[in-house]
Amino acid sequence: MAKTTKKAAPGTMKKVLAYIGRYKLLLPISILLALFTVASSLYFPVLIGDAIDCIAPWGDDSGFARMHEIFLEALILIALTALAQWLMSTINNRIAYHVVRDIRNDAFGKIEELPLSSLDKKARGDTVNRVINDAERFGEGLLLGFTQVFTGVLTIVGALAFMLMTNVVITVAVVLITPLSIFVAKFIGSRTFNMFKERSECEAETTAHIDEVLGNQKLVKAFGMGERECESFDKLNGRLEVSARRAIFFSSLTNPTTRFVNSVVYAAVALIGALAVMTPVGGMSVITIGMYSRILAYSGQYTKPFNEISGIIAEFQNALASASRIFELIEEPAEESDADSKELTEVRGSVEIKDVSFAYAPERPLIEDFSFTAKPGQRIAIVGPTGCGKTTLINLLMRFYDAKSGAILVDGENITDVKRGSLRSKYGMVLQDTWLKAGTVKENIAFGREDASDEEIVAAAKSAHAHSFIKRLKDGYETKLGEDGEGLSQGQKQLICIARVMLTLPPMLILDEATSSIDTRTEIRIQKAFATMMEGRTTFVVAHRLSTVVDSDAIIVMNDGHITEVGTHEELLARGGFYTTLYNSQFAKS
């Protein structure tokens, strides 16, 4: 465990410093202000010590006049120090939250660059937790703590220098005792990194579980599984409690331990200093009362940062653990760059699949030696039982996944040789699982064409038979939708998704159970709209209901990742094969 910590922390700190380095103008100002506040706080005991000596018994009458001057200097110094601390705090907060913003932007940008195969392996809640909670914890703990460590180190060095100028013996006594405080803080801190990382991982699991259950409450309630889900959450929450309690307990040991050492230091300074004041040498004390008060103040200033830094170490390790999780996401391998690939332009819609094989897991082949050719403008239906590879084939056509072997060509161009964006822009896609973003109805329809005019958006909605229900909404096309179209029925959400494709009208279409959530009457109207939309466009239709594909130019029948039959509806029925079995199972008379 310790070995992992040593490797993780320095690397993470280097990355953090690289982000902080982006703010080269603000950082020097912050450092200068820190130097000023430390210097002024160290000079203040000098003024107090001089003031005490002014009223000491051996002072002359002019001491009181000098004391007034000292108090005026002290007031000005306090005011300037307060202003400098406020400015430093403002700048540090600005740097801290700008860095957190940059890291979140990079993390979110990386999500957009990651291949779907990478995202599919992770719980959605874990990724959300990294971008939101871990980034927040990183900002609060690491960056703000970094500033306190810097000012603390300056204070320690400065106080030590002033103490040396005041009395060497007392300074040596302080220096001999304080390393114990550093050792304790380092010993505890080095063991808390992995504890905090474990807590973040448990937190991510808990977030993922909440996200999963909230998103599927209807099913949970329908199957009466609320109690079981509560039990599962209780176990996850219990693990989170144990890991959090363990991390916080061990990290909290640092503060009281270092406070004890600091108290010993202060007591030693007070005792040695008092003896020096009371033991005259040549008729005079070794140090004056003012010098004694000054060195007491410096001993407090010298030991205080050790206590603060030891407390920060816990937050520091927590922040490092959170930062390491964010950087794990940011540094994940992105999709292979296609910047040097060709643009796919002027597509007619010819799609050729040549000996394609694919598997999500190597030990479980899904599609093997798959070949097929779709001519421009053809309507190709893909049918078969659940899990036979229909949706996987769509993923390969869109390059959400790349085939393990074989090739897919569009107008003779291998899709691995063209830019993914240019390939995907040539497809219009309507899926069984609808997705609407938080925003207005108009914004959702124009998602693929933000420059579309209001007239074009309305025309697309009318073509999708969505216009009538949209007009009945509170604010029509300006109605704001909640997350994932909250407030609309599943069928209404599907219609808006269809309108989105109607607006772009690309040369090729993919309809994956596109009418599965629409009533039969609306489906008939949608099928007519689809017929208009599909004219002259190569269309791949994935369907379970065979009644929706009987007019297709070709029907690909899949089973266990293989093409078992290809032909028109009439040809396949005449063969009496697997398609006939599927068709009869749906339309058999009772």
Structure confidence at residue 83 (pLDDT)? 92
Token digits for 306? 């050790």
Instruction: Read off the pTM.
Output: 0.64
What per-residue confidence (pLDDT) applies to 217?
A: 65
311 and 365 inside one domain: no
Does one domain contain both 380 and 296?
no
Is residue 204 pLDDT above 60, yes or no?
yes
Whether residues 98 and 234 fall in one domain: yes
Between helices 490-504 and 520-534, what is the axis angle to 10°?
Answer: 10
What pLDDT score was predicted for residue 147? 67
Residue 277 or residue 415, greater confidence: 415
Kindly state whether residues 133 and 92 are assigned to the same domain.
yes
Q: Are 225 and 140 in contact (CB under 8 A)?
A: no
Do residues 178 and 132 both lie within one domain? Answer: yes
- Residue, of 5 and 209, whose pLDDT is higher: 209
283: left (phi over 0), alpha (psi -120 to 50) or beta: left
């032909």: which residue's tokens?
567
Does residue 172 belong to any structural domain of this protein? yes
- Please indicate, yes or no, whether residues 284 and 192 belong to a single structural domain of this protein: yes
Does the structure show a pLDDT above 80 at 501?
A: yes
Q: What pLDDT sits at residue 394?
A: 84
Q: pLDDT digits over 143-159, tens only? A: 666 667 778 788 888 88
Q: Is the pLDDT of residue 6 over 50?
A: no
List the CATH number of the domain containing 528: 3.40.50.300
In this predicted structure, what is the pLDDT of residue 282?
Answer: 46
For the chain, give the percent of residues with pLDDT over 70: 85
Does the residue 342 lie in any domain? no
240-271 pLDDT per residue, tens: 888 888 887 877 777 677 777 777 777 777 77
- Quick one: average pLDDT of 427-438? 79
Q: Which of 6-10, 444-448, 473-477 has the lowest mean pLDDT?
A: 6-10
Residue 62, both tokens:
């002019």
Tell me if 340 is assigned to some domain: no
Quote the pLDDT of residue 407. Answer: 92
**Which residue among 275, 301, 330 closes a domain?**
330
Exposure of 411 by Cβ count < 10 A (0-12 exposed, 13-18 middle, 19+ buried)?
middle
- CB-neighbour burial class of residue 1 (10 A; exposed 0-12, middle 13-18, buried 19+): exposed
Domain count along the chain = 2
Q: 304 pairs with which residues across the strands? A: none
Split at pLDDT 50, 70, 90, the class of 307 is low
- Are 360 and 503 contained in the same domain? yes
List, as one string, the DSSP characters of 398-415: TTSS--SEEEEEETTEEG
Q: Is residue 345, in this structure, part of any structural domain at all?
A: no
pLDDT confidence of residue 280: 60
Nearest CA-CA partner of 367 in 349, 351, 382, 350: 382
Residue 346 in domain: no
The yes-or-no verdict on residue 285 having pLDDT over 60 is no
Confidence of residue 524 (pLDDT cuts 50, 70, 90): confident
Q: Note whether 276 and 395 are same-domain residues.
A: no
Q: Which two tokens stand for residue 558?
A: 């899949």
Residue 86 lies in a domain: yes
State the Cα–Cα distance between residues 270 and 272, nearest whole angstrom: 6
Q: What is the pLDDT of residue 1?
A: 35
Statement to judge: residues 15 and 95 lie in one domain: yes
Q: What is the CATH number of the domain that holds 196?
A: 1.20.1560.10
Choice between 582 and 523, residue whose per-residue pLDDT is larger = 582
Query: Is the confidence at residue 284, as pLDDT, over 50?
Result: no
Burial 193-206 (b: 16+ CB within 10 A, else e): bbbbbbbbbbbbbb
Q: Is residue 7 very low, low, confident or very high in pLDDT (cuts 50, 70, 90)? A: very low
Express each pLDDT in 26-39 by its tens digit: 888 888 888 888 88
Whether residue 507 lies inside any domain: the answer is yes
5 pLDDT band (50/70/90 cuts)?
A: very low
* Cβ–Cβ under 8 Å, residues 530 and 524: no
The region that residue 563 occupies, defined by phi over 0 for left and psi between -120 and 50 for alpha, beta otherwise, is beta
Same domain, 291 and 371: no
Q: Residue 313 — very low, low, confident or very high, per pLDDT cuts 50/70/90?
A: low
Domain membership of residue 456 as a residue range: 351-587
Q: What is the tens place of the pLDDT at every residue in 95-128?
A: 888 888 888 888 888 887 887 777 777 777 778 8
For the ranges 213-217, 299-303, 393-397, the one whose mean pLDDT is highest: 393-397
Instruction: List, for residues 460-491, the tens digit of each pLDDT value.
Output: 888 888 888 899 988 899 988 877 677 787 77
Taking only the tens place, the pLDDT of each residue in 14-72 is 888 788 888 888 888 888 888 888 888 878 777 777 777 676 555 455 556 677 777 88
> Residues near 359 by Cβ (< 8 Å), separated by ≥ 6?
365, 366, 367, 404
Q: What is the mean pLDDT of residues 400-415?
A: 89
Q: What percent of the chain has pLDDT over 90?
A: 2
The residue among 330, 362, 394 that closes a domain is: 330
Is residue 335 included in any domain, yes or no? Answer: no
Whether 362 and 223 share a structural domain: no
- Residue 379 and residue 471 in one domain: yes
Model confidence at 408, pLDDT cuts 50, 70, 90, reads: very high
pLDDT tier at 516 (50, 70, 90 boundaries)?
low
User: Residue 179 pLDDT more than 50?
Assistant: yes
Specify the residue for token string 């063209």.
Answer: 418
